Structure 1
Amino acid sequence: MDWLVRMNRVLDYIEDHLEQDIDYKHLAQIAYCSEFHFSRMFASLSGITLSEYIRRRRLTRAAFDLQKSDIRILEVANKYGYESADSFSRAFKKTHGIKPSECRHEGVSLKAFPKISFQLTIKGDTEMEYRIEHLEFDIKLAGKGETVNTNRAFKIIPNLWSKAKKEGFMQELIDLSWENPKCSLEGILGVCGKEAAIMDEEFTYFMGVRYDIEPREGMETLIIPPSTWAVFPNVREAWKRLYAEWVPTSGYELANLPCIECYYGPGHKPRHELWVPVVKR
């Protein structure tokens, strides 16, 4: 499968360039994936962020270098992108539990993090319900953004909504909510990354509603251009299965736009949906 081949090419490229600066944009190009989604897709498939994987592979290689030669610690530090021996020593100890100088002692225990590979597991026991929506107009939103750690997003985002409800911001959004919707994208919206691309460790989660006039004071405006969307019921379940199950077999690529979590009012079925921007392969 082309998708699987491309993701494993990314891993090969990382392995061949551990001693050099690695441009995440270039990795996304190798994967033929949007910059916006690449880091999240990598983390979803591997269970580890892209930057952490690269860090662990470099420190694994560094331990091998120190054990097999008399190379100076500073040289090894510089080889794997650390500006000083101190910063390298801190990272090394965090990973291996000992100082770099101690790894040359006979009998010490170290941790080796091997190169990973991606494989497709065919499940097929539970279908994924979805539909395709074509929105041929700009989506203008009013709201505000909050910084979210990618690894803790599923814990942080519900807390953001709880805080918004407690402080009255959610009611402000309800008051502004769309009265005559042009399409089925209505309700309270959570936009997963308002910037052009999600960074590896964190992104901006934008809470807002569709709103065509100037927003109230203290709110920001976000405009999402016309796009095609794959829409899934049940936000949390959709996030779990999107990258590993739907994308590899769908015939679509992920567009370089943010995903939108749509939370509807009482009585609406489904209660919430995940809108994923896509383009045909």
Structure 2
Amino acid sequence: MISALNRLVDLVEAQLADPFGELDVEGLATELGTTGYHLRRMFSSLAGLPLTQYARRRRMTVAAADVVRGDDDLLSIAVRYGYGSTEAFGRAFRAVHGAGPGEVRRDGGPLRSQPQLRFRLTVEGNIPMDTRLTERPAFRLIGHAARVPLIHQGVNPHIQQHIAALPQEEHLRLKALSATEPAGLLQVSDDLDGPDAAEGSELTYLHGVAVPSDAPVPDDLDAIEVAAGRWAIFRTAGPYPEALQTAWAATATDWFPSNPWRLRPGPSIVAVLDRAADFSTATCELWLPVEPA
């Protein structure tokens, strides 16, 4: 996986010289015997930013040198980096550097450079991951759904508000509807804006339970259909949500590079098995949809 991610970085660098060329992630994934979905998800997890954002930052970092040098007019620079107008180039430039190309040319800055990434193997994995694999038939997730922004670290206040708005009796009602694994009340993340979506991108969050695929859906509940397939299940225990988020990150740094599995499209599911009264600590299971690598 490390070499695959470095090939992906090289692909971004090659596109800097050919901005109108396609960033062919799917072609590279096929060559490497994996999928574009898995490659993008692993890049995002390990780099801390999505591939598209990294590529844009690299392009604007290199473009900034041409802007400051001042040998060419701004339209020529815009076209060189794949933009059809100075306005479009200016918007992309400002989004990265915090100032337009005209201001930077005049003042010499501010500039926010994106160094070229290089992934390296480090010896980690000294803490065993409590994992199991299971094959599940198709099932259905039912509950109360909302579109919320993605937050990688800490408590997501939008999810908190969504759950807090439900009366206590509704939690009890949902729990009583649980009829298949994963059991109990579930925290479901689905329909993320792409496999390499940036923090702040929207996803569908569902607070609900799992039922068989042919179970009826009450009129007042939302539903997510889940395809049959294999799941990797990671058990975590400790401070909440920190222990869960650490385990989620470790699936990318430790588990997937060491095991013959890759992510497949589908929801991510968290089952809370036990928790403190104030939710400061919890024992959870993280369910991720996987397929053979």
- The TM-score bracket by the shorter chain reads 0.7 to 0.9
Which residue identity lines up with residue 256 of structure 1 in the other structure? P
Q: Does 1:241 align with 2:268?
A: no
Aligned counterpart, 1:277: 289
Give the conservation status (yes or no) of the 8 Å contact 1:259–1:276.
Answer: yes
1:195 deviates by 6.5
**Hey, what's the Cα distance between the residues in 2 that align with 1:26 and 1:191?**
31
1:59 deviates by 0.6
Q: Does 1:15 align with 2:27?
A: no
**Hey, what's the Cα distance between the residues in 1 that align with 2:245 and 2:41?**
15
**Residues 92 and 182 of structure 1, relative CA distance in 2, 3 Å threshold:** closer
1:133 deviates by 1.5
Aligned counterpart, 1:209: 209
Q: Once the two structures are superposed, what CA deviation does each residue of 1:71-103 show, in whole Å capped at 9, x if it has no partner?
A: 221232233344432342244245335442354
Aligned counterpart, 2:239: none
**Hey, what's the Cα distance between the residues in 1 that align with 2:119 and 2:155?**
28
Give the conservation status (yes or no) of the 8 Å contact 1:165–1:171.
Answer: no
Which residue identity lines up with residue 62 of structure 1 in the other structure? A
Aligned counterpart, 2:60: 59
**Hey, what's the Cα distance between the residues in 1 that align with 2:113 and 2:260?**
37
Size of the aligned set, in residue pairs, is 274
Aligned to 1:260, which of 257, 269, 285? Answer: 269
Aligned counterpart, 1:6: 4
Give the conservation status (yes or no) of the 8 Å contact 1:254–1:276.
Answer: yes
**Residues 113 and 162 of structure 1, relative CA distance in 2, 3 Å threshold:** closer
**Residues 8 and 219 of structure 1, relative CA distance in 2, 3 Å threshold:** same
Structure 2 length normalisation: TM-score? Answer: 0.78
Q: Does 1:189 align with 2:186?
A: yes
Residue ranges of structure 2 left out of the alignment (5+ in a row): 237-243, 277-281
Q: Does 1:224 align with 2:226?
A: yes
Q: Please state whether the residue corresponding to 1:41 is helix, strand or coil.
A: helix
1:243 deviates by 0.6
CA RMSD in angstroms, aligned pairs only: 3.3
**Hey, what's the Cα distance between the residues in 1 that align with 2:97 and 2:178?**
59
Which residue identity lines up with residue 76 of structure 1 in the other structure? I
Which residue identity lines up with residue 65 of structure 1 in the other structure? D
Q: Please state whether the residue corresponding to 2:217 is helix, strand or coil.
A: coil
**Hey, what's the Cα distance between the residues in 2 that align with 1:83 and 1:206?**
41
Give the conservation status (yes or no) of the 8 Å contact 1:190–1:207.
Answer: yes
Give the conservation status (yes or no) of the 8 Å contact 1:93–1:99.
Answer: yes
Which residue identity lines up with residue 209 of structure 2 in the other structure? V
Residue ranges of structure 1 left out of the alignment (5+ in a row): none
Q: Which moved more, 1:34-43 or 1:249-258?
A: 34-43
Which residue identity lines up with residue 292 of structure 2 in the other structure? K
Q: Does 1:96 align with 2:97?
A: yes
Q: Please state whether the residue corresponding to 1:141 is helix, strand or coil.
A: strand
Give the conservation status (yes or no) of the 8 Å contact 1:60–1:112.
Answer: yes
**Residues 198 and 96 of structure 1, relative CA distance in 2, 3 Å threshold:** closer
1:62 deviates by 1.0
Q: Which moved more, 1:237-246 or 1:109-118?
A: 109-118
**Residues 58 and 244 of structure 1, relative CA distance in 2, 3 Å threshold:** same
Aligned counterpart, 1:77: 78
Structure 1 length normalisation: TM-score? Answer: 0.81
**Residues 198 and 111 of structure 1, relative CA distance in 2, 3 Å threshold:** closer
**Hey, what's the Cα distance between the residues in 1 that align with 2:78 and 2:195?**
28
Which residue identity lines up with residue 219 of structure 1 in the other structure? L
Which residue identity lines up with residue 166 of structure 1 in the other structure? A
**Hey, what's the Cα distance between the residues in 2 that align with 1:40 and 1:149?**
17
1:168 deviates by 1.7
Give the conservation status (yes or no) of the 8 Å contact 2:174–2:185.
Answer: no
Give the conservation status (yes or no) of the 8 Å contact 1:230–1:278.
Answer: yes
**Hey, what's the Cα distance between the residues in 2 that align with 1:179 and 1:147?**
23
